[in-house]
Chain A
Amino acid sequence: MPKFIYPARTTSNVLQLSEITQGTYKTFAKMILNNDIKCLNIFLNKLIDELTADSVLPDNLNIIDKLVLLLDARCYSISPTIDLATEIKKEKHNYQLNINDVIDSILELKYKKEFVYQDKSIICKATLPRQLSYDAPEDIFADSMTYLELKKEKIEIDYSLSKKKELINKLPPILFTKYLKFIEQVNSSIDTIEVVNLPSVITEEPYTVSILGGTIIRILNLCFYLDLSTTHQNEYQLIRNFNFTIGQINNTPPVELSLYYNYITAEAKAAKEQQDKDSTEHMVPPPSL
């Protein structure tokens, strides 16, 4: 059966994505909780590859594009809103965050998306960083370089990261240093702009986007956090009382599982009401003296 697919935005394109399933959602939440940026980066790349199986991933997909894609995927597969709550001095504060507003804020950010260096003998182009984390600054340049021309001759650069690094090491340093300055400038033009508007009672630290990873993890943490203990408990009830299998649960998008939970809750409520009603009707009046 063909999968449900939907349009998901990047900062310059629209791709077709399939849904995040409950199994993947739980794994995603575990990856975030595990707090290892390298592992999370590998997971995100695999996840995006899996979700975009029906689209060709564009060459210029940077880390902000990946964030926007995942937020769109969250809207379609989990929910377009997040209910946040906090308690301060025994006073409860609730807030509903609309993820589409977050996506809009990110898409409204104005910054250069491509690095272009050109002099009389060199043309070099590169994207913004594509990964959540890198081991060294030259890895960013090697991973992001998309075009190189030396003396009007196009240089093949479609190699592994280690081979690209070897090539870059032989290039004039101006390319590397100008690229580092470019990403520094882009970052400083966006990393103070709040993209998630939350009341100060919910969070004191603003949510911003940085092309150098850290703040993106914070947004992913906010949007993909899952109370795994409660989730497993609920799934257990589905299996025990409603004949679901773990395979069915894991392959179902969270948004659809929520519907089942809603039906079950509504049914339970109706049954309780009926029971209350029945017990009132069958009440025997006390014998009159």
Chain B
Amino acid sequence: MDKFLDTLKLVEDFAAENTVAIYCPVAGVDLNFKPLTVLQTKEMLKSQIDTSGDVVATGVGLANTYNNIVIENCIEGKDVVNNLSIIDKECILFGLRYATDTKHKVEDKDIDLDVINQNIKTLKPSKKVISGSQTLKFKTGNIVVNTTLPTVGKDTAYNRAVLRKAKDKKINDIVIEIYITEACKYIDKITVGDTEVNFNDASNADNLVSTLQKLPSSVLNAISSYIANVKTYRDSLFTVENQLVDLSTDFFSNI
């Protein structure tokens, strides 16, 4: 057998043997992951130093890079990850970084990552974070908005829709659409009278975004209010001494 392939296998085996068990607070399970690799860190750094000036492509591209890393490294497989919530995804990314290096500095201040690690294990999401339902009353009838945490699979699919829409467009021209698409990720279904629109099938993302744009703005307000709940919980996990730790590329390049 080729000597180089033998060597490559040795290195791959080393990574495979050093799996990291990471707790996912929303799913309430421990999952096993292969550690981060240099290649994956490089992929993250690439978006940090992207000079193309395409803010949307860079930002959304990075979000999908994060999703892909979590999928690639999960020992339990792609389907398991695709059904995890985006909060669990962030906890996994944090866990992979924490397993590599427990130290982190923000503006020369040491951040105790043990606090976040402990938060993830102890702070459970409340019911209003897992899902929400709001009935909006109008003269013509009711609109029921059911919200839920986006899964990794749904997040990736909507991100791809954003990339398609953003192609060759300036950010000012599509900023509203990006905002609406982001809101769509958090919708389980919207029921208008007898009609139910399922927002989990992101293959139909363009139509779903158009549908949401046509609904009264109070629908968007209801979704924003749910997103605020999710954000509050998410931030509580990643806050150390009033300092919110951003899982940006800096967090990973500072290993």
B253 within 8 A of A: yes
B18 within 8 A of A: yes
CB of A169 within 8 A of CB of B14, answer no
Bound complex: CA A166 to CA B7 (Å): 11
Bound complex: CA A158 to CA B68 (Å): 32
Give the interface segment out of A60-68, A149-157, A210-218, A248-256.
Answer: A149-157
* B-side contacts of A141, CB under 8 Å: 38
B124 within 8 A of A: no
- Give the residue of B7, B39, B255 whose beta carbon is less than 8 angstroms from that of A169: B39
CB of A171 within 8 A of CB of B11, answer yes
Give the interface segment out of A1-9, A11-19, A173-181, A268-276.
Answer: A173-181
CB of B38 within 8 A of CB of A159, answer no
CB of B15 within 8 A of CB of A177, answer no
Which residues 159-194 of A have a CB within 8 angstroms of B?
159, 163, 166-178
Bound complex: CA A172 to CA B19 (Å): 12
CB of B8 within 8 A of CB of A173, answer no
A138-B42, A155-B7 known; A171 and B18 CB under 8 Å?
A: no
A121 within 8 A of B: yes
Q: Which residue of A lies closest to B18 (CB)?
A: A121
Which residues 13-55 of B have a CB within 8 angstroms of A?
14-15, 17-18, 35-42
Bound complex: CA A50 to CA B77 (Å): 54
Bound complex: CA A155 to CA B11 (Å): 8
* A-side contacts of B136, CB under 8 Å: none
* A-side contacts of B79, CB under 8 Å: none
CB of B38 within 8 A of CB of A150, answer no
CB of A170 within 8 A of CB of B7, answer no
* A-side contacts of B255, CB under 8 Å: 173-174, 177-178
A156-B3, A159-B4, A163-B4 known; A175 and B38 CB under 8 Å?
A: yes
Bound complex: CA A57 to CA B240 (Å): 51
Question: A91-126, CB under 8 A of B: which get 1 and which 0?
Answer: 000000000000000000000000000000100000
Bound complex: CA A80 to CA B7 (Å): 48
B142 within 8 A of A: no
A172-B36, A172-B100 known; A177 and B7 CB under 8 Å?
A: no
Q: How many residues of A are counted as interface, with CB atoms below 8 angstroms from the partner's CB atoms?
A: 24
What distance in Å separates the Cβ of B192 from its nearest Cβ neighbour in chain A?
48
Which residues 123-174 of B have a CB within 8 angstroms of A?
none
- Give the residue of A138, A167, A176 whose beta carbon is less than 8 angstroms from that of B11: A167
* B-side contacts of A156, CB under 8 Å: 3, 7
CB of B14 within 8 A of CB of A151, answer yes
What distance in Å separates the Cβ of B173 from its nearest Cβ neighbour in chain A?
34
A138-B38, A172-B37, A174-B255 known; A150 and B101 CB under 8 Å?
A: no
B201 within 8 A of A: no
Q: Which of A150, A170, A176 has the most CB of B within 10 A?
A: A170
CB of A170 within 8 A of CB of B37, answer yes
CB of A173 within 8 A of CB of B7, answer no
CB of B14 within 8 A of CB of A173, answer no
* A-side contacts of B12, CB under 8 Å: 170
What distance in Å separates the Cβ of A107 from its nearest Cβ neighbour in chain B?
34
CB of A173 within 8 A of CB of B11, answer no
B238 within 8 A of A: no
CB of A150 within 8 A of CB of B252, answer no
CB of B100 within 8 A of CB of A173, answer yes
* B-side contacts of A172, CB under 8 Å: 15, 18, 35-38, 100
CB of B11 within 8 A of CB of A150, answer yes
Q: Which residues on B are within 8 Å of A, measured CB to CB?
A: 3-4, 7-8, 10-12, 14-15, 17-18, 35-42, 100-101, 252-255
19 contacts between A and B (CB under 8 A): A141-B38, A155-B7, A156-B3, A166-B8, A170-B8, A170-B12, A171-B38, A172-B15, A172-B18, A172-B36, A172-B38, A172-B100, A173-B38, A173-B40, A173-B100, A174-B100, A177-B253, A177-B254, A178-B255
Return the 10 tightest CB-CB contacts between A and B, nearest first.
A169-B39, A173-B41, A177-B255, A150-B14, A176-B38, A170-B11, A174-B100, A156-B7, A173-B38, A174-B255
